[in-house]
Amino acid sequence: MAIFKRQFAWILIITFLFLISCLPLSSQETDPFYINLLNHGEKSFLTGNYREAIKELEIAAFGLLEENSLRAKAYIYIGLGYYNLRDLVKSKEYLIKAQECLGEDNPHQLKIDEAVLREFNNLLNSFQLNKEQKATTLEKIENSTSKFKEFGRNEKPKIDLSDRIEELKKSLKTDPRNISLHYELYQIYLDQNNLKAAKKVLKDLVKKNPTEINSHYLLGKIEFKDRKYKEARQAFEKLLNLSQRIKLDEIKTAEAKAYLILCTYYRGKRKDTQKMIDTWLDELTPAKISLLSLDIGEKEKLQRIIDSFKNQIKTEK
């Protein structure tokens, strides 16, 4: 009887394992981690943070191997991101990947911002990657861009974007609240090292869309780089005020507080600096500071300021 029970148990186990092995892979749910990363990467792109967007979207695409439409969406943003960073080879490479994932599907089904889709279609035409010319391969791309190799490994070809700037300005006159147009124009000016024009675009964006939280963040950073510490402090204070109503990720919140401490310190406001450090000390640990996007020098300066005030408190005690 005991032998029969053991045999029956083994039969049940083997049957169960067989049924599991027969389940199709497509029935597995997509990991929400990669979906969230895709959404975050899209937001990073729309705020003009192309390098961060590319990092996030490349990881997302890797985890979405069974989701062609989602991978196509990621590849489109990555391709456009590389284009805005003036890496034409990488841009074309990812646009081809996007086309391969889409197949004959319409890209409008991906629920991508209309301005982004227009830019995607324009690049397909300018790179000769539309469906009629789909025979273009990565090898041909390398050949067609070989003329850029004379610029050197770390240099990028200069692209005349004056027509695109004028086009964006005209579009903003008819659609002044279009956030993506503002960010694209801002990024072009930033790449051209025209901080004055880039700042003007952000100020206009803040005026038209006062609750667009990332515009305050970028404006604060550019004012800080321009050593306009009073204006930078105002921008980061507005950002933190908005973050009480609009969700802001933990790192950007910490960066805003870090910049506020630096701005206040550089303006000679020692008492205000002390209050901020006392309030945010637990949030600005050395480990957290290392994750921020501040320059190395700014991180080191921030840590020295915090350590100095901490030592001062110990001395007073």
Q: Assess contact for 216 and 239: CB atoms under 8 A.
A: yes
The b/e string for 32-64 (b: 16+ C-beta within 10 A; e otherwise) is: eebeebbebbbebbbbbbbebbbbbbbbbbebb
Q: Assess contact for 276 and 248: CB atoms under 8 A.
A: no
Residue type, 283: E
Q: Assess contact for 201 and 185: CB atoms under 8 A.
A: yes
Fold equal for 30-149 and 210-317: yes
**Looking at residue 139, what is its pLDDT?**
42
CATH class name, domain 210-317: mainly alpha
Q: Assess contact for 69 and 43: CB atoms under 8 A.
A: no
DSSP string of 71-85, one letter each residue:
HHHHHHHHHHHHHHT
The architecture CATH gives domain 30-149: Alpha Horseshoe (1.25)
User: Low-confidence residues of the chain, pLDDT below 70?
Assistant: 1-31, 106-109, 126-160, 313-317
Q: Assess contact for 193 and 158: CB atoms under 8 A.
A: no
Q: State the distance between the two ends of the chain, measured CA to CA, in whole angstroms.
A: 79
CA atoms within 13 A on the CB side of 275: 6
Question: d(Cα 115, Cα 306) in Å, to the nearest integer?
Answer: 44
Cα dihedral 294, 240, 57, 108 in deg (nearest 10): -140
Residue labelled with tokens 């961060």: 52
Residue 265: is it exposed, middle or buried by C-beta count within 10 angstroms (0-12/13-18/19+)? buried
Q: Assess contact for 294 and 288: CB atoms under 8 A.
A: no
* Domain spans, the chain: 30-149, 210-317
Q: Assess contact for 136 and 129: CB atoms under 8 A.
A: yes
The b/e string for 267-293 (b: 16+ C-beta within 10 A; e otherwise) is: eeeeebbbebbeebeeebeeebbeebe
CA atoms within 13 A on the CB side of 260: 25
Predicted model pTM: 0.52
**Looking at residue 152, what is its pLDDT?**
39
Nearest in space to 50 (alpha carbons), one of 36, 160, 58: 58
For residue 11, give both structure tokens. Answer: 């039969």
DSSP 105: S
**Looking at residue 211, what is its pLDDT?**
86
